[in-house]
Amino acid sequence: MKVLANDGISKAGELALKEAGIEVLDNRVAQDHVINFINENNVDVLLVRSATKVRQDLIDACPSLKIVGRGGIGMDNIDVEYAIEKGLYVINTPNASSRSVAELVFAHFFSLARFLHESNRLMPLEGDTHFNALKKSFNNAYELSGKTLGVIGFGSIGQEVVKMGISLGMKVKVLTRKPKTKTISLSFFDGQTVDFEVTSTNDTDAFYKDTDFISINTPKTNEYVIDTPEFEKMEDGVFIVNTARGGVLNEVTLVDYIESGRVAGAALDVFETEPTPELILLMNPNLSLTPHLGGNTLDAQEKIGVELAEQIIEIKKKL
């Protein structure tokens, strides 16, 4: 069996595959040449992340393919249903990067609440000439403890965000299409585990009322999860972080509400026009920005590689 990990795979994942007698091709093939490469090398497994797209034309043109894998949660760059109809196994790693994404959410929350994103821009320019003025301009900061965290989406990432909020002493609300109850377990360094039962709501009025920090953790959607009606329900001075997908939040409307003062600040890791975000976003001092780094940690990539390898090895036994 041959595996093309076109967007890369961790050393741990590669080692697990090789130990199972599976050949791993470490080539990086441009999208336009993927089909030819797969056919010329008789590739059985194509592993991708967000860069390589697996559409119907590729699936039809590559009869040797048996498995398509996505390192991560979102599968929007793969025509999943079509691949399954054609008899391919489609795998992903829904849990491997959840913690990394959740930690990025709070990295942005801390950055926004303490003006770190803006301070890091201005200190190199004005730190030696306007030190005291900068210090004064950043003194209206907030602690997260005791504040209310609103989490939109209750999948694996949403649950990790809830865990981190609870561990910081935040009050937690969760918004889902249908109310559901989940047990959230927090594990500590000394082996203790504490369980919290959290029930989500589908009442948007109740969700947005008195909520100080909002994290969007939904799959890709066909329409905005947050647009004018939702912004109107929010409290003045709210902070928002989107690490989900571009297009779940109306970015133009977001800027309007930031400029009006209704939204204190926001962070975007994903963008509607990714990979070319709008200049109005890039230049806004009230935005904390990252280039789609949610699951991009060494820890997450190692877990993703191992999880993909384990699934491939199990499927190989069935073939």
Task: Check the CA dihedral 18-91-9-309 and report its sign.
Answer: negative
Same structural domain, 145 and 228 = yes
- pLDDT for 5-51, tens place per residue? 999 999 999 999 999 999 999 889 999 999 999 999 999 999 998 88
Which pLDDT value is given to residue 95?
87
Distance CA 1, CA 67 (A): 11
Same structural domain, 193 and 254 = yes
Same structural domain, 61 and 193 = no
- By residue range, what is the domain housing residue 69? 2-93+298-318
Same structural domain, 196 and 279 = yes
CATH code: domain of residue 181: 3.40.50.720
Same structural domain, 28 and 102 = no
What percent of the chain stands above pLDDT 90? 93
The closest alpha carbon to 112, from 101, 123, 100, 104, belongs to 104
Nearest-5° Cα angle at 33, 31 to 39: 120
The two structure tokens encoding residue 29 = 């093939």
How far is residue 317 from each of residues 20, 21, 210, 224, measured CA to CA in Å? 11, 12, 53, 42
Which pLDDT value is given to residue 144?
98
Same structural domain, 107 and 217 = yes
How far is residue 105 from each of residues 153, 163, 191, measured CA to CA in Å? 14, 12, 26
Q: What are 193's strand-pairing partners?
A: 187
- pLDDT for 296-316, tens place per residue? 899 999 999 999 999 999 999
Same structural domain, 85 and 109 = no
- 165-168, long-range: CB < 8 A, 24+ apart: 166/196, 168/106, 168/144
The closest alpha carbon to 300, from 97, 98, 157, 107, belongs to 97
- Round to the nearest angstrom and report the end-to-end CA distance of the chain: 10
DSSP SS3 for 143: coil
Which pLDDT value is given to residue 204?
97
Which pLDDT value is given to residue 55?
97
Same structural domain, 144 and 38 = no
Task: Check the CA dihedral 298-302-305-307 and report its sign.
Answer: negative
CA 16 to chain centre: 26
Distance CA 108, CA 266 (A): 8
Which pLDDT value is given to residue 50?
83
Same structural domain, 257 and 165 = yes
What strand order describes the sheet that includes 213-216? 171-175, 148-152, 213-216, 238-242, 263-268, 287-289
| In contact, 104 and 128? CB cutoff 8 Å | no
How far is residue 239 from each of residues 39, 67, 105, 294, measured CA to CA in Å? 49, 41, 11, 18
Q: Work out whether strand 181-187 and strand 193-199 pair parallel, antiparallel, or are unpaired.
A: antiparallel
DSSP SS3 for 77: coil
Domain total in the chain: 2
Same structural domain, 169 and 266 = yes
Residue 281's H or E segment, with its range, is helix 279-282
DSSP SS3 for 203: coil
- pLDDT for 40-78, tens place per residue? 999 999 999 888 999 999 999 999 999 999 998 888 899
- pLDDT for 217-241, tens place per residue? 998 888 999 999 999 999 999 999 9
Mean pLDDT, all residues of the chain: 95
Which pLDDT value is given to residue 146?
97
Nearest-5° Cα angle at 121, 118 to 127: 100
Same structural domain, 232 and 258 = yes
Catalytic center residues? 245, 274, 292
Give residue 251's pLDDT band: very low, low, confident or very high (50, 70, 90): very high
DSSP notation for 212-273: -EEEE-----SS-SBSHHHHHHSPTTEEEEE-S-TTSB-HHHHHHHHHTTSEEEEEESS-TT
Same structural domain, 154 and 257 = yes
- pLDDT for 211-220, tens place per residue? 999 999 998 8
| In contact, 141 and 160? CB cutoff 8 Å | no
